[in-house]
Amino acid sequence: MNEDKILLGQAEDRIDQCLDRYMLTATGFLDTHQQSVLRQKFGKSPLACRIAFLGGYDDAQRRVMACLPDYMDGDAGMEDAQQQLFTVVRAEHSLKSAASKSGRALRHGDYLGAILGLGIKRDVVGDILVREDGADIIVMAEMADYIVENFGKAGRTYLSVSSVPLQDLLIPEQKVKLKNDTVASLRLDSLVASAFGLARSKAADAIRGGLVLVNHEEVLKIDRVLEEGDELVLRHHGKAVLEEIGGTTRKGRTAVVLKIFV
């Protein structure tokens, strides 16, 4: 795809800048497909600079590809890179606001639409962590002041907006449930069907359509065999982890435990 070629070219420019100027560089925020394209190209090849996919917190969906010079090594270097790259825009509203009175809480799309309405590009905005009284929005640090100065309303609700350091990010508690099931095999199509409640044929179609990621990379082969600890993402549906592989039943099926993020 032409878009993928452009993306690869932009990423190569960031790598060159890191090497030439001996400094931290990064792409804008990437969706899961874009991350997969860059992980497959640069994530496993030895390079003169360190490549990391960072989003501000461990479970971030939108991430940048960061290029770290060798003096930014170890976990401390990764943390320093995130502190340099990202700022949190905190939007808050009163529980007596229009959103609360109407009974319709502000959603992810309300915040994102309002910010993009300022003329902001999508790749400036990372994850939007919504809570009852507002949201924490991870943004590229260089755009934080502009957003804070101009972002005052989402939907019909007026907001109090400020910037806070990344270490003060409020991360909502992630709800999970365990699903005990048996599958015909440990093939990707079987496990996607089990995890997300799909017919196996629908799961296969989703895989072939590039909608499924295993450990952050798109996988198009329905017969990919998974292992314990592998993470599955089905776009627009959610995330699951193959938590445990058990024994074989009398009918030859394999017992599994899946951790489903809800």
Check if CATH label 3.30.70.330 holds for domain 87-168: yes
Domain ranges within the chain, ordered by starting residue: 2-84, 87-168, 176-261
Cα dihedral 68/17/124/5 (nearest 10): -110
Helix (H, G, I), strand (E, B) or coil at 242: strand
Burial tier of 64 (Cβ tally within 10 Å: 0-12, 13-18, 19+):
buried
Residue with tokens 């072939």: 208
- This prediction's pTM: 0.88
Please report, rounded to a whole number, the percentage of residues in the chain having pLDDT higher than 90: 87
Q: What is the pLDDT of residue 47?
A: 76
* Residue 252 reports pLDDT greater than 60: yes
| pLDDT the model gives residue 29 | 98
Structure tokens at 256: 């599994």
Count how many residues are written for the chain: 262
pLDDT of residue 98: 57
Q: Is domain 2-84 classified as CATH 3.30.1370.160?
A: yes
DSSP at 86? E
Grade residue 262 by pLDDT with cuts at 50, 70 and 90. confident
Q: Is residue 146 classed exposed, middle or buried when 0-12, 13-18 and 19+ CB atoms within 10 A define those classes?
A: middle
What is residue 189's DSSP assignment?
Answer: H
- Run of H or E including 17: helix 2-21
Q: Which residues pair with 238 in a beta bridge?
A: 234
DSSP-based three-state secondary structure for 76: helix
Report the distance separating Cα 46 and Cα 73, nearest Å. Answer: 15
39-90 per-position pLDDT tens digit:
999 977 677 889 999 999 999 999 999 999 999 999 999 999 999 999 999 9
C-alpha–C-alpha distance, residues 220 and 207, integer Å:
5
Please tell me the distance from the alpha carbon of residue 78 to that of residue 61, in angstroms, as a whole number. Answer: 17
Q: What is the DSSP-derived secondary structure letter of residue 95?
A: T
Whole-number Å distance between alpha carbons of 222 and 217:
14
The β-bridge partners of 245 are 256
Q: Is residue 209's pLDDT more than 90?
A: yes
Cα–Cα distances (Å) from 89 to 15, 123, 212, in that order, read: 28, 15, 30
The tally of CA atoms less than 13 A away on the side-chain side of residue 231 is 11
Contact residues for 112 (Cβ-Cβ < 8 A; gap 6+): 125, 128
Q: What is the pLDDT of residue 167?
A: 96
Answer whether residue 155 shows pLDDT above 70: yes
- Tell which CATH architecture fits domain 176-261: Roll (3.10)
Q: Which residue has the tokens 């949190």?
A: 88
